[in-house]
Amino acid sequence: MLSKLILTLLLVAAGPQPALPPAGLVEYLGEYGSGRATRSIIREAQGELEVVAGKSAPQLLRKTGKDVFEAGARTYRFQRDGSGRVAAVHSGTVYPRRTDFPEDGAVFRIKPVRPVEELRVAALKQSPPAETGKRKAELVDLHRLAARLHFDIRYATANNFMGAPMYSQAGAFLQRPAAEALVRAAKDLEAKGFGLLIHDAYRPWYVTWMFWEATPVKQRIFVANPVEGSRHNRGCAVDLSMYDLATGKPVNMVSVYDEMTDRAYPDYPGGTAFARWQRAVLREAMEKQGFTVNVAEWWHFDYKEWRQYPIGTARFEELR
């Protein structure tokens, strides 16, 4: 993952809304390089390209010719493939462009280590860790809140990183204090022209067990260890994004939801200034109401009282 220096989590301020990026710059954006030591990120800021390399501050790329840019004394010559797509950059050495990132609106998927249905059978036989001294759960159905929430519960469909339905029906529940805080965040965002798009909230513990057992070890930073229980299991975590109130369409962030790459980090420096600003707007609204962003997922927010609630096992049909 990226340097801890770059990804240090601080309370954010979204700042003023930037302009949309010039269309001619977007095609250059991405990561270039085959190894961590040689990797560079080309991003957009204030209508210009910038290069972020290692721990160095971003450097402005000045265009000096067709597909040619300069940063200080260094020249960056972008190379295209047979279809005309930017495929590499030459800067002393040829650095290929990373091509395994999902496109906007796409679904990130893994190949589960074990078949999903086999995991489901095994998961339902497991028991969560024993706990004592927790508050009584008071899960609230988010569909009933007086807020302009939209819902896209991915785990009730095959449209998720596992490629199979994980829930028997769609549902979104939070403990009452977290639900009330979510409503306040939604109202703050309305003033900026955004609504909240909910992907997941309370998650039965057996699903967390399935995620852990299905995910390759190198990607487990993106899933919770069932031995400890997830904050989703406690009804105090929510996965969400935003939609545009004027159009009703989901906004584009720096990464797609549930993407298990560096781009999912809440302080990943790449992408467009507008996408980074939208990510910051969401985070600012949620943190103002007592939520904390996950260190590896810009869309995942934990409510401050999560330690007070027990791990839940109930399915949505039982809650209703």
Q: What is the pLDDT of residues 103-162, one digit of tens each?
A: 988 999 999 999 999 999 999 999 999 999 999 999 999 999 977 999 999 999 999 999
Same domain, 197 and 54: no
In a domain, 177, yes or no: yes
In a domain, 106, yes or no: no
Domain span holding position 68: 4-96
> Beta 150-151 vs 194-200: how paired, if at all?
parallel
Same domain, 210 and 138: yes
Interior/surface letters 217-248, b for 16+ CB within 10 angstroms, e for the rest = eeeeebbbebeebbbbbbbbbbbbbbbeeeee
What confidence score (pLDDT) does residue 38 get?
A: 66
Mean pLDDT of the chain: 93
Instruction: Read off the CATH number of the domain in which 297 is found.
Output: 3.30.1380.10
Extended beta strands in 122-276, E state: 139-141, 150-151, 173-175, 194-200, 237-244
**Residues with pLDDT less than 50, the chain:** 1-10
Closest CA to 306 of 227, 240, 228, 242: 228
Same domain, 63 and 161: no
Same domain, 277 and 161: yes
Same domain, 65 and 148: no
Please state, in angstroms and rounded to a whole number, the distance separating the CA atoms of residues 92 and 252.
Answer: 34
What confidence score (pLDDT) does residue 5 get?
A: 34
Same domain, 83 and 198: no
Q: Is the pTM of this model over 0.85?
A: yes
Same domain, 206 and 154: yes
For the chain, how many structural domains are there in total?
A: 2
